[in-house]
Amino acid sequence: MDAIKEMVIMFLRHYDLVTVVILSIFLGIEVISRVPSVLHTPLMSGANAIHGVVIIGAIIVMGKAAPDDYLSLVLGFLAVILGTLNVVGGFVVTDRMLEMFGKKKKK
């Protein structure tokens, strides 16, 4: 039961964040709900790049690691690389996809 109590406390402490979460959920739904089917794949890819924002967590982990804490350093290093791959790869691939569509549009 202690665990539940702590979770309630957690909820209270992060209460504003919970509001942020709920608003974001609604916003995500609203924004996407009318996308034409040709754009499904690029949108998926773009969204994929956006969740790469998890890299910020990786950077913080890495930056806080003590210089002699090799395990954390190695894992953090890996995490930053993976996160960067997600972000950079995601945006570049999306751009390439959309370039295809765009090129055709212009002609």
Interaction residues for other proteins, span 46-65 (CB under 8 A): 46-65
Give the number of residues in contact with a copy of itself, rule: CB under 8 A: 10
Among 1, 3, 13, 26, binds a copy of itself (CB under 8 A): 26
Q: Report the alpha-carbon angle 53-56-62, nearest 5.
A: 145
Extract the tokens encoding 10: 């957690």
Q: Is 70 in the site for other proteins (CB under 8 A)?
A: no
The whole-angstrom separation of Cα 51 and Cα 57 is 12
Extract the tokens encoding 71: 């395990």
Give the nearest distance from C-beta 68 to other proteins in angstroms: 12
Closest to a copy of itself by CB, 50 or 85:
50
Give the nearest distance from C-beta 18 to other proteins in angstroms: 7
Q: Which of 54, 47, 31 is nearest to 91 (CA)?
A: 47
Identify the residue whose tokens are 């930056």: 63
Closest to a copy of itself by CB, 17 or 85:
17
